[in-house]
């Protein structure tokens, strides 16, 4: 008997703790259905059926208490590692810190926009042009001649584009930009910093620094892998330890470029 009383006392204490905790949460309580006759001055809801064999259904009207709306939720995709990205050149989000901050320090927004060179997302809907649009525009305006021969577009096209989009540069700069973009679109074209395969038919004799440019650029000396986003150099050389290409200026390096014989490797460079 004593053990039963002790258990009941523990159950009641635990129940009281749970009841107090549930009161602090934003949860709608479920009302227990009571008979209509036991309620006084309560609005009723009546359901009548068109069939006589079904009786009238009467229930009391219960008004739910006001509940807070569900907060905004954002979904996140988990990543196995961090990825370094380039700095944004256009301000996409203008922070709002209250009217008091803007009234006290009116130069905050001006300094923020200056950090992005005055480029704010959505301000210049028709005042910019991408490289792809530039090439397509020049190709459409400067089409092939009457005899079918392909000629370089006229300077008037680049002058008009430079006048409409001064941020893209002068006429000469647009011409050089157009040449670079069209050369990159040619089949089999390589970036200017890349070197063709030394064993292929288009092999060229280049300097050692140029031939190893892709190796020095893509090879990560921290994880010994190529094209790593985790340790990529991003404004700070400590994140991507590239080899030191500078040489000490001493007497030992004065004669290092002289061939040692007829079969010396210097003749191959």
Q: What is the pLDDT along the chain (269 residues), one digit of tens a residue?
A: 788 888 889 999 988 888 888 777 766 555 555 555 555 556 888 888 888 788 888 888 887 777 777 767 667 777 777 777 677 777 777 777 777 766 776 677 778 778 877 777 665 555 567 777 888 888 887 765 455 556 778 888 888 888 887 777 788 888 888 888 887 666 666 666 677 777 777 777 777 777 776 666 677 766 766 665 555 544 444 444 444 555 554 544 545 567 788 888 777 65
Closest CA to 213 of 234, 190, 229, 189: 190
* Helix boundaries (H) for the chain: 2-23, 99-104, 107-115, 131-141, 155-164, 171-185, 208-211, 213-218
Handedness of CA 242, 245, 246, 252 (dihedral sign): positive
pLDDT at site 241: 47
Q: Are 163 and 127 in contact (CB under 8 A)?
A: no
Q: What is the pTM of this model?
A: 0.32
**Per-residue confidence (pLDDT) for residue 198, from 0 to 100:** 72
Residue 66 Cα to chain centre, angstroms:
39
Q: How many CA atoms lie within 13 A of 110 on its CB side?
A: 3
Instruction: Report pLDDT for 235.
Output: 41
Taking a C-beta distance cutoff of 8 angstroms, is the pair 50, 14 a contact? Answer: no
Number of H helices, E strands in the chain: 8, 4
Q: What is the pLDDT of residue 255?
A: 52
pLDDT at 266: 74
Measured on CA atoms in the order 211, 234, 190, 199, is the torsion positive or negative? positive
Instruction: Write the Ramachandran bin of 16: left for phi over 0, alpha for psi from -120 to 50, otherwise beta.
Output: alpha
Distance, CA of 108 to CA of 236 (rounded, Å) = 27
Closest alpha carbon to 60 in 88, 85, 41: 41
pLDDT of residue 165: 79
pLDDT value at residue 236: 41
pLDDT at 207: 77
* Residue 188, pLDDT score: 62
């Amino acid at each position: 008997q004593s053990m039963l009383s002790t258990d009941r006392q523990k159950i009641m204490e635990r129940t009281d703790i749970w009841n107090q905790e549930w009161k602090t949460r934003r949860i709608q309580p479920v009302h227990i259905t009571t008979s209509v006759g036991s309620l006084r001055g309560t609005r009723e809801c009546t359901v009548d059926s068109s069939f006589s064999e079904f009786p009238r259904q009467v229930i009391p009207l219960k008004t739910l208490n006001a509940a807070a709306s569900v907060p905004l939720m954002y979904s996140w995709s988990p990543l196995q590692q961090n990825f370094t990205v380039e700095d944004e050149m256009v301000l996409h989000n203008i922070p709002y810190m209250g009217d008091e901050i803007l009234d006290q320090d009116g130069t905050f927004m001006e300094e923020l926009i200056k950090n992005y060179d005055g480029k704010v997302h959505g301000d210049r809907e028709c005042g910019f042009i991408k490289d792809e649009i530039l090439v397509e525009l020049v190709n459409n305006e400067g089409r092939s001649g009457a005899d079918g021969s392909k000629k370089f577009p006229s300077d008037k096209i680049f002058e008009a584009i430079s006048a409409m989009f001064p941020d893209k540069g002068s006429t000469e700069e647009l011409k050089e930009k157009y040449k670079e973009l069209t050369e990159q679109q040619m089949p089999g074209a390589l970036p200017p910093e890349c070197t063709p395969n030394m064993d292929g038919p288009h092999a060229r004799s280049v300097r050692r620094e140029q031939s190893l440019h892709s190796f020095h650029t893509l090879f990560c000396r921290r994880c010994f892998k190529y094209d790593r986003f985790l340790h990529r150099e991003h404004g700070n050389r400590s994140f991507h330890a590239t080899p030191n290409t500078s040489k000490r200026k001493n007497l030992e390096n004065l004669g290092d470029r002289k061939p040692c014989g007829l079969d010396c490797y210097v003749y191959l460079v």
